[in-house]
């Protein structure tokens, strides 16, 4: 997917990019590739692949969650890595107030440089573990309209990392590939325990490659119990309600 195909594919979804936004995506690509030479940000480096599997893929939640397009809302992106999905969403929808959490300072430094290079405002970077950022004493707990995550963990684990950060009435959005149905089924107990319910699991195919993708949306219907999230590392070692094979 070259930049013009990228622009056309988004136009078919009712999203019209300006020349300035296209320029920002080009700057994003150049900085991603140059930084990736000494900081491990992505294994995908071909320009057409980056535009399809990073940029376009990151914007797909807005195809199914209309509020991302129009409202002045807050998003927290957990484990954003090189900025996916939150930075592409921010470029396309400047109305978004974005907070990014990542546990690796090298990635935060890249994102800080990226935000400055692209001239973005309303982006807040946090070097932190999600378990700590959403903990019971954190001022950020249950404060975000949306919490997003892409390629971070399976749903049992991801729910405990993300849902404590979602305000009641807000939503968690997970960008998933194959096996989403199995992940959701395994995570039912965790999702309910943490105060949410499944609102949407939308399967679709990326253009060009036809790769399968899922947008999974959880509604936060009640407060997350104070004992969650547990201490760093525990959600992955002992996921709520999930039997781990030994």
Report the binding-site residues for S-adenosyl-L-methionine: 79, 84, 130-131, 150
Question: Residue 60's closest CA among 99, 14, 18?
Answer: 14
The radius of gyration of the chain's CA atoms, rounded to the nearest angstrom, is: 17
As annotated, the binding site includes: 79, 84, 130-131, 150
Q: Where are the beta strands (DSSP E) in the chain?
A: 74-78, 97-102, 123-127, 144-150, 166-176, 196-205, 212-220
* CB-count exposure of residue 48 (10 Å: 0-12, 13-18, 19+): middle
Q: How far is CA 89 from CA 29, 83, 185, 197, in A?
A: 15, 10, 28, 24
Hunting for tokens 């999905």 — which residue is that? Answer: 85
Hunting for tokens 């199914």 — which residue is that? Answer: 64
């Amino acid at each position: 997917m070259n930049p013009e195909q990228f622009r056309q594919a988004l136009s078919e979804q009712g999203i019209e990019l300006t020349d300035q936004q296209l320029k920002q995506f080009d700057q994003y690509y150049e900085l991603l590739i140059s930084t990736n030479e000494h900081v491990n940000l992505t294994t995908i480096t071909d320009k057409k692949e980056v535009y399809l599997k990073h940029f376009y893929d990151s914007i797909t939640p807005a195809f199914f969650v209309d509020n991302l397009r129009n409202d002045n809302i807050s998003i927290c992106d957990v484990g954003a890595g090189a900025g996916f999905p939150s930075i592409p969403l921010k470029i396309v929808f400047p109305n978004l107030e974005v907070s990014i959490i990542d546990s690796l300072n090298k990635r935060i430094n890249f994102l800080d440089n990226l935000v400055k290079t692209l001239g973005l405002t309303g982006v807040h970077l946090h070097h932190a573990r999600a378990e700590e950022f959403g903990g019971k004493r954190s001022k950020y707990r249950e404060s975000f309209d949306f919490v997003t995550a892409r390629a971070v963990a399976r749903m049992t684990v991801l729910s405990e990392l993300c849902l404590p950060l979602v305000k009641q009435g807000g939503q968690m959005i997970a960008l998933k590939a194959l096996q989403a149905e199995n992940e959701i089924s395994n995570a039912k107990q965790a999702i309910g325990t943490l105060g949410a319910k499944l609102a949407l699991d939308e399967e679709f195919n990326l253009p060009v490659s036809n790769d399968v993708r899922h947008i999974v949306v959880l509604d936060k219907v009640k407060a997350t119990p104070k004992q969650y999230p547990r201490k760093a590392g525990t959600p992955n070692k002992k996921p709520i309600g999930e039997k781990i094979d030994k």
